[in-house]
A and B are shown apart, each in its own frame.
Chain A
């Protein structure tokens, strides 16, 4: 079994440093497996979050050799044999301990998003929607809330002062999904401009690049939203879009 050399950040809000661990690996291992092996054999108090170990829950985000990734989906065999692998906590959020950060910013922003308010159902009490009208939104719903996009977004990564009035890419696609919902009736224009601060996004696509679900955050979410922002200044256009967005009969 090859031995991997890992440099893992150890520390808390008061400070810390990287510690080196040498770990035996098995075929097919991912970085999270190696972190678990360090916990089980060398450092039981090494803190990291995880749940599903299959890329579905978005808990184990970290910066591996400088790249923000899910540890559970990062195979050890993508690295050169003998290469030292550095694992650091995601940088944008305050450190709690080791690889665990305080991501509560995201939960605060989540609560600010104006929720869905549906049109009345069809006369038989059912809602009808067409698959082609929801394909795009289903793409946004793939989001596992790993917050890697939030982590790399320059607006918050480098500017603490923006956090108050900026929602970040995760919540832009959340809003986009609500706005594009064929049955939604809410106007989120003011929210998107003021509280969510979409104007601060300068479309560098860093969010899209790190998305483990390969959601086209910028092209399918943010850019159309910026365009809608321009259109929505005209209330007639907004109304037409809201009420024409839905097909009325099957193809």
Chain B
């Protein structure tokens, strides 16, 4: 093969990923006066953030003045079953309100209280109504606002560009190499600092709310570059995805339906969540229908409805109801808001849900209940970062948003993702820029490194025979769905790892037809490398953690174990092999610990 040709761009900071975290990082880095390149796999404004529905969690106290960062911090840590990096959870709770107000200054128009302030809605696991929102299309408002702010900040945007590998100069990250999806031509970015903001890994499962983009690119690139990943066993299955018709299975139904008064029911009409209140949340959860219904309007004298327990609890409960034969006709449960709220209210508060069910399922949610079931939604695990700076364990590399780990512990609360993107996106941009400014040396990118990646990237075109990449992707999704799903066992996880090994071998032999111009078969073949890597990390970590906690439930180890509550499972790659270790969580200072000793 001839020496591969590529164009080169040089920036102080490159940001890979242009969802909420990537856009906010790019804006902040540009504000520091450094040159910024923003790289996105899709067109600008189409990243996964656009699909977020419910809102941005921030203790602004506009609806409940009792709310403050300490309460938000406590809710977040308890939702994550105390496995969160306490410092990230603290910074997140403290800074989220400022980030929301900042978004308002950039032009976001949130729904208003009657006093003209930003309205906040109830969501699972949050003590007070806390989510700033725009109906049920908050993510759209957020990404559009950031996008239109960013384009005036002198940031160079590289659209439909897929990064294949991070490049190193010795121990440090020196840039990234990838291809333009439009032409298939190669492109090299040299940078003093790289921010990963690539989102999640949900495309490794069959039933998922995630799009084609969510193939764990940033997770895998960081791992291959020598960075640590943590908490990869923790995957969130959102309790309410659509289940019917088959082609829409997995599409998200916002938690806002329950936040705004909707309830879950089984085939006998029972509000079954009252049967699934765990000991951990008994003190703060209503144990009868009357109290639960009063809670929506009187939070001082009533406890929260169990319909709004954290997502891991609700997903397991739905799973159990369906297994017990009390499911809906298409294998979910019922989510009813039509008998509880007026049609006008539903259409005003949940316009996308109304539209989505009407057009895709032929269901009028103001007249009939929805059928819903768990769908793979979010990975809590990700690149291990320093809480304050978002620096990964490799110099020059930063990570924010879903591809970073630690913030959400073993389970993320709804609404905490959008706020995470803003808080840590800003921090990543800031610290990447400072890192770049302080870097005095010359970066050298080894041409051999680049050539090797280029060859691997083109290999699928050159094989004589070989499999269809879509078939391997589908088998991986089936494997993860059945063997590394909501409920796991040692035997299943071992079987999954065997299958992943076989699929890796097969993926090394895929063949693609056609040219390099916008060729989805080729793109799918290339994304298999990261998808298989993150799937393996997840299954390996899940096998390691012999307890049940948050988004990781082991049928063979059904209890939460205090010893496991003190460690993260860390995954790293050395000399081509994965290594797992258990490493202690950072110790929470006494004044924050005290927040958990109060009765309420």
Contacts and interface: CB of A to CB of B under 8 A. Distances in A.
B246 interface: yes
A44 to B, nearest CB: 3
A178 B470 contact: no
B104 to A, nearest CB: 6
B514 interface: yes
B213 A51 contact: yes
Nearest to B114: A250
Interface in B132-166: 134-135, 137, 139-141, 144, 148-149, 151-152, 159
B359 A75 contact: yes
Contacts of B211: 50-53, 57
Contacts of B144: 141, 143, 145
A131 interface: yes
Interface stretch (A21-29, A190-198, A228-236): A21-29
B115 A57 contact: no
A45 B514 contact: yes
Contacts of B514: 44-45
Given A26-B245, A126-B117, A53 B251 contact: yes
Instruction: From A56, A97, A181, name the one whose CB has the most chain B CB atoms within 10 angstroms.
Output: A56
A128 interface: yes
Nearest to B514: A45
Contact of A134 (B46, B112, B115, B520): B112
A44 B104 contact: no
Contact of A26 (B151, B247, B470): B247
B116 A54 contact: no
A143 B147 CA distance: 13
A75 B151 CA distance: 35
Contacts of A40: 468, 470-471, 474
Interface in A178-192: 178, 181
Interface size class of B (residues with CB under 8 A): 35 or more
Interface stretch (A103-111, A158-166, A203-211): A103-111
A98 B518 contact: yes
B359 A56 contact: no
B17 to A, nearest CB: 13
Contacts of B520: 39, 44-48
A12 B514 CA distance: 12
Nearest to A174: B148
B360 A28 contact: yes
Contacts of A79: none
A63 interface: no
Interface stretch (B37-45, B75-83, B273-281, B376-384): B37-45
Contacts of A100: 182, 518
A28 B46 contact: no
Contacts of B134: 138, 141
Interface string B111-129: 1101111000000000000
Contacts of A178: 107
Contacts of B521: 39, 44-45
Interface in A27-76: 27-30, 33, 39-41, 44-59, 73, 75
B360 A73 contact: yes
A131 B245 contact: no
A10 to B, nearest CB: 10
Interface in A108-164: 110-111, 113, 115-116, 118, 126-131, 134, 137-138, 141-145
Contacts of A96: 182, 517-518
Nearest to B106: A116
Contacts of B474: 40
Interface size class of A (residues with CB under 8 A): 35 or more
B242 to A, nearest CB: 9
B51 interface: yes
Nearest to B147: A110
Interface in A80-108: 96-98, 100, 102-103, 107
A29 B352 CA distance: 19
B445 interface: no
B135 to A, nearest CB: 8
B524 A44 contact: yes
Contacts of B140: 56, 141-142, 144
A52 B361 CA distance: 16
Contacts of B111: 131, 138
A129 B109 contact: yes
Contact of A181 (B107, B469, B522): B107
B424 interface: no
A12 B183 CA distance: 11
A59 B42 contact: yes
A102 B518 CA distance: 11
Given A56-B50, A129-B116, A27 B107 contact: no
A55 B356 contact: yes
A31 to B, nearest CB: 11
Contacts of A33: 247
Nearest to A132: B112
B487 interface: no
A54 B50 CA distance: 11
A162 B116 CA distance: 42
A96 to B, nearest CB: 6
A113 to B, nearest CB: 8
B109 A181 contact: yes
A100 B355 CA distance: 26
A29 B244 CA distance: 10
Interface in B538-591: none
A27 B246 contact: yes
A173 to B, nearest CB: 12
Nearest to A138: B109
Contacts of B32: none
Interface in B341-399: 352, 355-356, 359-361
Contacts of A51: 42, 46-48, 50-51, 211-213
Given A28-B246, A107-B44, A47 B109 contact: no
Contacts of B114: 250
Contact of A47 (B43, B106, B361, B519): B519
A110 B159 CA distance: 15
B422 interface: no
Nearest to B525: A44
Q: What are the 10 A-B residue pairs with the smallest beta carbon separation, nearest first? A: A28-B245, A44-B521, A45-B514, A128-B116, A40-B470, A47-B518, A97-B518, A51-B211, A131-B112, A116-B107
Given A44-B520, A51-B51, A134-B109, 20 more contacts: A26-B245, A27-B246, A39-B520, A40-B468, A40-B474, A44-B469, A44-B513, A44-B514, A49-B43, A51-B46, A53-B248, A54-B252, A55-B352, A57-B211, A58-B46, A107-B43, A110-B148, A129-B112, A178-B107, A250-B115
Interface of B: 42-48, 50-51, 101, 104-107, 109, 111-112, 114-117, 134-135, 137, 139-141, 144, 148-149, 151-152, 159, 182, 211-213, 244-248, 251-252, 352, 355-356, 359-361, 468-471, 474, 512-515, 517-522, 524
5 contacts: A28-B246, A30-B247, A33-B247, A141-B141, A174-B148
